[in-house]
Structure 1
């Protein structure tokens, strides 16, 4: 089973309304130091820029700063912050190749929002939290959610309950 690789640097900021539009403050640009620290914690990645790391031949990506626009069709994306902000992990999969993704130690218990745009069967893919001797809390991993049900608790994504 492949591990999902991801780093997290969150920026909290308020929003203001200008001319009827909600304007979110720009996120600070990530630094090479942030990427280097993440790559030291989760090795075997390829640094694509000061914001992005690629793993598993490009099938798994990590962005230090992102928005929902960073999640293309065909990918499953999870963010460390609510409302699709901050650090993001994404992986590509198809219905024929829908597999379990264990989050790395770094990403466990950090998922706060998601957008499921991948190819797995939408009624049979879930975010799950591993709990010994208890039922695993889970959430259907479909659509787009600004806030997850069990904030900062998920450890993996998989098919079936």
Structure 2
């Protein structure tokens, strides 16, 4: 945007970095430490986990985890925000402020499994033969760790 002052056009100040949506700013305020990827995605720890804030148009209520990832959703029936991970072994969900927030899950990998845990107790798991869990039921908002078994 330029400013006209007495017939002289003054340049507008340069924007600092890409613009971010209000929703992204609010999410980062509540869950600091992320890097903005675009108007709808934030990565943590160099892309180890990627949070997508809003579902793509036409996918509400559908498991939509990209191939090569396992995903967890803040609401039943795959309600966004969605977190996605692909790392093997133990992951502490508090690293990305996802502890006690998982209500549904989708496993989109060809082998292995991921268990969702409350400390050392496995609550539920998803794997190639049971890829989706639309509602964690009694275990909603209990998981604070995950373990992905990789063959």
Is residue 2:62 matched to residue 1:72? no
Describe how 1:101-116 pairs up with structure 2 within 5 A.
Answer: 101-104=91-94, 106-116=97-107
The verdict on how the C-alpha distance between 1:159 and 1:53 changes in structure 2, with shifts beyond 3 A counting, is closer
Counterpart Cα distance in 1 of 2:67 and 2:46: 18
What is the match of residue 144 of structure 1?
132
- Note the C-alpha offset of 1:126: 0.8
Cα-Cα RMSD: 2.4
Name the TM-score, length of structure 1 as normaliser. 0.64
Q: Which has the larger radius of gyration?
A: 2
Name the TM-score, length of structure 2 as normaliser. 0.67
Q: Is the 8 A contact 2:98 2:144 kept in 1?
A: yes
What is the match of residue 11 of structure 1?
none
| Number of equivalenced pairs | 120
Summarize deviations over 1:72-128 as a string: whole Å, max 9, x none.
1110100011111221110123xxxx1211112732211111001246623xx3100
Unaligned runs of at least 5 residues, structure 2:
1-19
Higher RCO (CA 8 Å, separation ≥ 6 residues): 1
Q: Which secondary structure state, in structure 2, belongs to the residue aligned with residue 57 of structure 1? A: coil
